[in-house]
DNA sequence: CATGAATGAGGGTTCATTCAT
DNA sequence: GATGAATGAACCCTCATTCAT
């Protein structure tokens, strides 16, 4: 009997993420993944029919976990600014907490492995965030701006700042500045 | 003497950038570069002793051109906000105008080819931008924030928004919003 | 006891033949055979200790059925030419009727799977045909020729012509020409 | 300067044929071909972009040599029977002389490597033989039979008998019987 | 300097076979 | 007996780099 959360798929996903962290996406070979997961090369192919499938499924999985994290509680009946702050903090926290996942997310998107269907599959996940921003505009708290533009801004900004913060010895100094900067940028 | 801008090195650089645009960094092989530049494979190795050297030197070159563009006129005797706006616009314009260069910049940074010395070599180039932001803080126009933090913010934000804008049919709608958003984010 | 023709061995044989027809001998993998036979991969190894053994045993089985077909009634008390004609027609009919078997027979013989013992095992099956031809020579109806030479001739000729006929929209035109051609070739 | 007939392509072709003779077509790996030709694996790919291309080009080349051999002198102004005999003998001689080529020809045709274009490319080569047989029918020396049917007969018969003869200690006994048997089979 | 054929290590993938359940 | 996940050797192919011309 396997412990919770240790299916072979997850084993392989974990191995892949660890590898991406260590050597980058391009350093990920199927053999290396197998070795990292302590299984045979061929075993990986039982669960994923190709490297492309492995990476794309991992991407969707991570994106799901990511959007799950930042979407949580976004439609609660609370003042807009409170939810906005929470969202920014969740966003940042995910990036800081799940370093390998973040690295993978960034590197995969500009890799030759991405398939169109994967891009499609992850698009819908932005819905809750999108609705929150809409609400902000309706309440005349946010600028009148293309919502996709705002999302792009948030993603790029927080993602980049997370990378910066991660390298600092004392992170606390910065974490609060992130949501402030985002708020000031978008507020009316 | 060849005409301006047509040394062999530049020929190879151009070929590399065109290739990155077409097939991504991972699709760039030395043979493809040579073919694109219409020279022999071996010739590339006369000018660059390895693929790593070629890419790193190209990176430094592009970064130089990039920071040259955005640093231009930053120390002129003009009101801070004017210079800030100009810098943001130059920043964005570079990303929109030099598409292959931008792609390369982004993809290279997360590749296994980057060497430590390259990262070091490009760090100093931020000086003019850094000084501008310092001035903003001195003039009490910008928030009291780590300058590197601000630079990271600007880079991530503008870079990401440029990518978004590039995909839009009508770009004019967005270009002015970029500097505004950056200003609001950082201003006191 | 299972119903006629449904032992596991036969199930596997059938699956193999169907596969050979669809994808050729080189496309036959043990996993594919198992799937086609709707059993587990490991189960195949209970009945055949290796792929080699499976194929060789199938070969002998098919050859047995084949020679059974063409040997039937060859020693009856009828005029030689009548039996010769019958044999030729049976030969051809088998090739036309049992397509997968024929494909397999041809492809297996030039494969790396054939073992010496299999070749030996099938040699004796030629006895009835051999005796018929001997009789033809004794009755001075056939040329004085090495019997093995004659058998080789018949096999090559009919096999090849069967392949040709199979591809024709109207087969009837040709079937009668086969035995005639063989008769003329060998008759004194 | 290379000696006549020793281009790299021919070197690789030779190596391939030798391998096919030794271990059969399915035993032919690109690495084995390279080793046999005493070159590096990658070198093979300079001359042939894939295993499929290598084998198909070799097939066309061998077929060309083969049909060149048997077509030679077929339209000379000589009695039909003389030419028919010559053709049969050339046919047989090729099979006996170029053993590896023959093995390859047979095994390749039933392999997953054959492409439609290769089959097409070799079809036209039968023209001279086809015309000879037509002439035989016109002169009322051959049976009124589909020419393609006759060609199939000749190919299957001679090919098979060649295989038989090759295994005999004394071959001379049989070589003359081949053309006789073919003649008797097809003559009116 | 310039060329481009040659090299061979390494990557993705398949598949015969084994073995714990 | 039956299962099918697991193994790992072997295969096809790519590409950074070298070197004889």
Q: What is the pLDDT of residues C137-160, one digit of tens each?
A: 999 999 999 999 999 999 999 999
Place of tokens 């024709």: C168
Transcribe D117-160 into DSSP letters: HHHHHHHGGGHHHHHHHHHHHHTT-B-S--HHHHHHHHHHHHHH
pLDDT, position D6: 78
In sequence order, the 6+-apart residues with CB closer than 8 A to the CB of B163 are A152, B95
Residue B5 pLDDT class (50, 70, 90 cuts): low
Do residue D184 and residue C182 have CB atoms under 8 angstroms apart? no
Long-range contacts of B168-172 (CB under 8 A, 24+ apart): B171/B96
* Residues C187/C143, Cβ–Cβ less than 8 Å: yes
Q: Can you tell me which residue has its alpha carbon closest to the C1' of nucleotide F21?
A: D1
Q: What is the pLDDT of residues B84-111, one digit of tens each?
A: 999 999 999 999 999 899 999 989 988 8
pLDDT, position B104: 93
Size of interface C-D (CB pairs under 8 A): 88
Q: Give residue limits of the domains in chain B.
A: 1-49, 52-186
Q: Max alpha carbon distance in chain A (Å)?
A: 58
Nucleic strand E under 7 Å from the C-beta of C41: yes
Residue D41 pLDDT class (50, 70, 90 cuts): very high
Residue of A nearest to B109 (CA): A107
Mean pLDDT of B44-55: 97
What's the mean per-residue pLDDT of chain D? 93
CA of D38 to C1' of E8 (A): 13
Domain B1-49 has CATH 1.10.3720.10: no
Arch. (CATH architecture) of A58-186: Orthogonal Bundle (1.10)
* Residues C93/C161, Cβ–Cβ less than 8 Å: no
Nearest CA to D185 out of B158, D152, D162 is that of: D152
pLDDT, position A5: 53
pLDDT, position A1: 39
Q: How many CB atoms lie within 10 A of CB A107?
A: 19
Nucleotides of F under 7 A from a protein CB: 1-20
CA of C69 to C1' of F14 (A): 53
* Residues D47/D9, Cβ–Cβ less than 8 Å: yes
Cα-based angle D5, D7, D10 (whole degrees, multiple of 5) = 75
Nucleic strand F under 7 Å from the C-beta of C153: no
* Residues D112/C26, Cβ–Cβ less than 8 Å: yes
Q: Which of A103, A112, A161 sits opposite B152 (nearest CB)?
A: A161
Mean pLDDT of D157-176: 93
CA distance B87 to B72: 8
pLDDT above 80 for D4 = no
pLDDT, position C110: 84
What homologous superfamily is domain C59-186 in, according to CATH?
Answer: Tetracycline Repressor, domain 2 (1.10.357.10)
Nearest CA to D131 out of D92, D182, D64, D84 is that of: D84
What's the mean per-residue pLDDT of chain A? 93
Beta bridge partners of B187: B142
pLDDT, position C125: 92
Helices (H) and strands (E) in chain A, counts: 10, 0
Q: How many CB atoms lie within 10 A of CB D50?
A: 12
pLDDT above 90 for B1 = no
> Of how many residues is chain B composed?
188
Mean pLDDT of C157-184: 94
pLDDT above 50 for A3 = no
CA distance B58 to B10: 9
Q: How many CB atoms lie within 10 A of CB D98?
A: 17
Residue A170, phi then psi, degrees to nearest 5: -110, 110
CA distance A135 to B36: 51
- For an interface test with D, the pick among C51, C103, C119, C160 (most D C-beta atoms closer than 10 Å) comes out as C160
* Residues D41/D30, Cβ–Cβ less than 8 Å: yes
**Chain D residues with beta carbon closer than 8 angstroms to that of C149:** 161, 164, 174, 177
What's the mean per-residue pLDDT of chain C? 93
Q: Which of B106-110, C125-129, D2-6, D121-125 has the lowest mean pLDDT?
A: D2-6
Residue D149 pLDDT class (50, 70, 90 cuts): very high
Residue C170 pLDDT class (50, 70, 90 cuts): very high
Nearest CA to C125 out of C56, C60, C53 is that of: C60
List the 33-92 stretch of D: residues with Cβ below 8 A of C.
Answer: none
pLDDT, position C6: 80
Q: What percent of chain B has pLDDT over 70?
A: 97
CA distance C93 to C107: 19
Nucleic strand E under 7 Å from the C-beta of C51: yes
Helix, coil or strand: residue B103: helix
pLDDT above 60 for A27 = yes
Task: For the domain made up of B52-186, give the CATH fold.
Answer: Tetracycline Repressor; domain 2 (1.10.357)
B176 touches chain A (CB under 8 A): no
Residue B2 pLDDT class (50, 70, 90 cuts): very low
* Residues C31/C41, Cβ–Cβ less than 8 Å: yes
In sequence order, the 6+-apart residues with CB closer than 8 A to the CB of C85 are C179, C183
pLDDT, position B110: 85
Place of tokens 């100094």: A173
Long-range contacts of A114-118 (CB under 8 A, 24+ apart): A114/A56, A114/A59, A115/A52, A115/A56, A117/A56, A118/A56, A118/A59, A118/A60
Q: Which of left, alpha, beta for D180 (phi over 0: left; psi -120 to 50: alpha)? A: alpha
- For an interface test with D, the pick among C52, C149, C173 (most D C-beta atoms closer than 10 Å) comes out as C149
What's the mean per-residue pLDDT of chain B? 93
Mean pLDDT of D89-108: 93
**Chain C residues with beta carbon closer than 8 angstroms to that of D149:** 161, 164, 174, 177
Residue D129 pLDDT class (50, 70, 90 cuts): very high
Write down which residues 159-188 in C have CB closer than 7 A to strand F. none
pLDDT, position D54: 97
């Amino acid at each position: 009997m396997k412990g919770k959360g240790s299916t072979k798929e997850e084993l392989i996903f974990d191995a892949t993420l660890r590898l991406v962290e260590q050597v980058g996406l391009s350093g990920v070979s199927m053999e290396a993944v197998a070795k990292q997961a302590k299984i045979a090369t061929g075993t990986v192919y039982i669960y994923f029919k190709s490297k492309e499938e492995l990476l794309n499924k991992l991407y969707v999985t991570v994106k799901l976990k990511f959007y799950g994290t930042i979407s949580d509680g976004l439609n609660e009946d609370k003042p807009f600014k409170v939810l906005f702050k929470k969202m920014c903090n969740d966003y940042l926290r995910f990036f800081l907490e799940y370093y390998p996942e973040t690295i993978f997310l960034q590197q995969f998107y500009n890799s030759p492995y991405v398939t169109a269907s994967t891009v499609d599959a992850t698009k819908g996940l932005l819905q809750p965030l999108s609705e929150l921003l809409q609400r902000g505009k309706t309440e005349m708290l946010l600028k009148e701006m293309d919502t996709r533009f705002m999302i792009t801004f948030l993603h790029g900004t927080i993602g980049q700042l997370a990378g910066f913060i991660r390298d600092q010895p004392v992170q606390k100094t910065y974490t609060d500045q992130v949501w402030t900067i985002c708020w000031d940028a978008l507020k009316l």
